[in-house]
């Protein structure tokens, strides 16, 4: 029971961290108008779903089978994971639509504020910290669920870095390339300065959102496939090979 309590505590800490990041990214993304940060909030929503699935899976792992559930209760978490991933895919489709709309028009302006950079830096720090905690717990308690959770959150640092790069390029465009056109309106430099002010760097935030959406799709597909494998009772990879090797390692076994 002590071992199970430690594994549950590690899983719950991951859920708490995910809730914190979702709230922080939603507030800052909405205030700054950054689609990249908002898409990262939805990505953290996927993290929250994955962390919740792991938490309930770890809790349910010790529950024995009963009269109505001869094989235990573990598949409930797989069903809930599929529902969560379906909702996140719908939200991801909205992000792609909004990002493409922003790229095709210059009506929406993004504020590459200090708060936007701050929240993404916090996200990287939290993901790094909780992945290390989960890895240690996975090794200590021999938990495959915690190990998968740790691997998932390790990849989140990459997507957060992509958003930071996008915001940095937007800031660069505003500070270095955002030349006031009215100062050149009646000069020969006006066409050149207009072209510079319309630099593609202004759309870096939307491009970053598209990249994050791709990461969400790939991660969600991988998690969904794992949930389906559990529901269909698919044998673990290399299971047959491991069994055969174990059998043939016995000296008395013959063909």
How do residues 108-117 score in pLDDT, each as one tens digit?
555 566 777 7
For 10-27, letters b (16+ CB in 10 Å) and e give: bbbbbbebbeebbebbbe
The tens digit of pLDDT for each residue in 30-79 reads 887 777 677 778 878 877 888 888 887 777 766 666 677 666 665 665 67
CATH code where residue 88 lies = 1.20.1510.10
Closest CA to 167 of 217, 230, 119, 124: 119
| Within a domain: 254 | no
Q: What is the distance between the terminal CA atoms of the chain, rounded to a whole angstrom?
A: 44
User: pLDDT category, 16, cuts 50, 70, 90?
Assistant: very high
Band of residue 135 on the pLDDT scale cut at 50, 70, 90: confident
The tally of domains found in the chain comes to 1
- C-alpha distances in Å from residue 158, one per residue of 40, 147, 164, 180, 240: 11, 18, 10, 35, 35
Answer yes or no: is 32 within a domain. Answer: yes
* pLDDT band of 158, cuts 50, 70, 90: low
**Looking at residue 51, what is its pLDDT?**
84
Dig out the tokens for 83 from the structure: 């529902």
pLDDT tens track for 180-219: 445 555 565 555 445 445 555 566 667 777 877 787 788 7
Confidence check: pLDDT of 144 > 70: no
Q: Is the pLDDT of residue 2 over 60?
A: no
The answer to whether position 6 is within a domain reads yes
Q: For residues 131-145, b (16+ Cβ closer than 10 Å) or e, as one string?
A: bebbbebbeebebeb
Is 255 among the domain residues?
Answer: no
pLDDT value at position 181? 46
pLDDT exceeds 70 at position 146: yes
Phi, psi values for residue 167, rounded to 5° = -65, -40
* 134 within a domain of the structure (yes/no): yes
Predicted local distance difference test score (pLDDT) of residue 202: 62
| Domain span holding position 113 | 2-248
* Structural domain includes residue 128: yes
Does residue 253 belong to any structural domain of this protein?
no
């Amino acid at each position: 029971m002590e071992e199970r309590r430690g594994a549950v505590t590690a899983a719950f800490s991951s859920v708490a961290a995910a809730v914190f990041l979702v709230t922080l990214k939603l507030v800052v993304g909405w205030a700054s108008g950054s689609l990249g940060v908002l898409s990262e909030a939805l990505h953290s929503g996927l993290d929250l779903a994955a962390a919740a699935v792991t938490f309930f899976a770890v809790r349910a792992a010790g529950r024995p089978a009963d009269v109505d559930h001869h094989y235990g209760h573990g598949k409930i978490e797989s069903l809930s994971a599929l529902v969560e991933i379906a909702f996140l895919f719908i939200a991801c489709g909205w992000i792609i639509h909004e990002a493409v709309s922003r790229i095709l028009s210059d009506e929406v302006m993004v504020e590459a504020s200090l708060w936007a950079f701050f929240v993404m830096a916090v996200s990287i720090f939290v993901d790094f910290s909780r992945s290390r905690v989960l890895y240690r717990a996975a090794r200590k308690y021999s938990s495959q669920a915690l190990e998968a959770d740790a691997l998932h959150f390790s990849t989140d640092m990459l997507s957060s870095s992509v958003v930071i790069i996008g915001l940095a390029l937007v800031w660069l465009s505003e500070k270095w390339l955002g030349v006031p056109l009215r100062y050149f309106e009646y000069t020969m430099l006006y066409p050149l300065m207009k072209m510079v002010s319309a630099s593609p760097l202004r759309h870096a935030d939307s491009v970053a959102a598209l990249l994050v959406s791709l990461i969400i799709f790939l991660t969600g597909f991988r998690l969904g496939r794992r949930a389906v494998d559990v529901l269909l009772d698919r044998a673990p990879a290399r299971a047959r090979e491991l069994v055969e090797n174990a059998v043939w390692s016995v000296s008395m076994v013959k063909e």
